[in-house]
Structure 1
């Protein structure tokens, strides 16, 4: 196997890492072993939902996930891809490495994340390696690239599986499935009849990535469209959450900590344990039929 490097260079997005026979065999074993480890322990496959936090025995799945035909072609016939030179490692914006398996009619791609820490460049890092005398070392004089024993995602003939949204979004465009609230959507949010905002510009300025994400989820869920003032008060009382209301409108707080708590409440992250009756913060809330 000659792995394919993914780069952020628009002119050279896919490059072949040319390996000698022994290294190619080792790379294949590494990726296949990593894929086996990735699949081991998965008891539940969850359709990708950006509002859900996976448990240890779960993974996300997206069907009909598009992959570049160029990448598939290079993985099928690696020698058709441009070779990378070790001199490129210092400046090349590599963000992923792809292994593959097209044996027996399969179409499987194995994705690893990549960052600059996995390239050892003489002068940037002082690396040493043993000589013939194993107790004597010499300085690294050529760039070295490290392959990992873990993979971030597996693409199997159109089906993408991954366990970490944070890592997956560095490799794939998931904007179709997950978007933060735009300024226009935040404007829609603060203008909702169920909310009261004293300064919409200040509120928008206080919104970070996390809060924009929560607002997008709340708008998508439509919970404010169906909740009455009494429903909101009752829900807050049931989990002992102190909510500030002006008649039947929720007052949006300006302090970031208070805003975070409110958005967690509106996105139904706060609940009471059915056995312990403790007030808990949900790690995931995929609806159970």
Structure 2
């Protein structure tokens, strides 16, 4: 059965929209996404998400009883209901996820989702070209690139995913993870890349917001995946307190000893800051509040 392509957006008046596809594109898209689903479902063991565990190879996380408040399954079942996507760069910038789906043999609707990175927009600004028949041709109109892998699947309230960080770009998952306990804060402070002068004081100033951020940062793996020198460069750009020091021969992040600077650092590590590529203005992403730099 041919798959349709939908977008989940930040626009409350057009929360779900549909892409009109030509027959040949729809056929190729169906094969492309079906192959992605096959790879996605090869995980042998499902681990219930608790906000702490990171899946190894062959494992996948899941949330049971996820509330599909956007009713993605209805769009899949009734593809003529959603409005057609508005082909403008402003509207494409509001897309947070691409999705498709079908009714499985068990009668349940299975939704396949990809987190949408705005860098995948093929902009009408400038001159976009593509290679075809030994020459480069101009791309007419706005477009996008479909990712090579799924971010998550949703079926009968069961949300499956490998990366919590990528999945929460699409959905609000705050109610499904636990805030960091005192032991979790101690574990965070004891990381090889972290330097805490007074861990017990850190626990005392760790309110629920701080503990939630620590849990999210731990789950994202950003401290293990992004070099400190890159963090320092970006932190300087956003005027974020980001002190480091040498511990033996290794550079480590020094945690601020006051709550205000600690929160700024944790918000930064949780990637809550964003700089508009158009206006070069810095924002706090959860509120789009302009940051004074």
Offset of 1:211 from its aligned partner?
A: 3.4
Aligned pairs (5 A) from 1:1-289: 1-40=3-42, 42-68=43-69, 70-87=71-88, 92-104=93-105, 105-124=107-126, 126-130=127-131, 134-178=133-177, 180=179, 197=201, 210-211=213-214, 255-256=254-255
In structure 2, the CA distance between the partners of 1:48 and 1:209, relative to structure 1 (3 Å rule), is closer
CA contact under 8 A between 1:7 and 1:96: conserved in structure 2? yes
Equivalent-residue separation in structure 2 for 1:103 and 1:200 (angstroms): 50
Which structure's CA Rg is the greater one?
1
Unmatched runs of 5 consecutive residues or more in structure 2: 186-198, 219-253, 258-293
Equivalent-residue separation in structure 2 for 1:209 and 1:69 (angstroms): 25
Equivalent-residue separation in structure 1 for 2:203 and 2:56 (angstroms): 39
Unmatched runs of 5 consecutive residues or more in structure 1: 187-194, 216-254, 259-289
Greater strand content: 2
When structure 1 is superposed on structure 2, of 109-118 and 170-179 the one drifting more is 170-179
In structure 2, the CA distance between the partners of 1:210 and 1:157, relative to structure 1 (3 Å rule), is closer
Q: What secondary structure is seen at the aligned counterpart in 2 of 1:78?
A: coil
Equivalent-residue separation in structure 2 for 1:119 and 1:163 (angstroms): 24
Q: What is the TM-score normalised by the length of structure 1?
A: 0.61
Moved over 6 A (4+): none
Equivalent-residue separation in structure 2 for 1:130 and 1:69 (angstroms): 38
Cα RMSD after superposing both structures: 3.4
Equivalent-residue separation in structure 1 for 2:256 and 2:80 (angstroms): 54
* Equivalent in the alignment of 2:224: none
Equivalent-residue separation in structure 1 for 2:200 and 2:131 (angstroms): 68
Equivalent-residue separation in structure 1 for 2:104 and 2:200 (angstroms): 60
Q: Which has the higher contact order (CA 8 A, sep 6+)?
A: 1
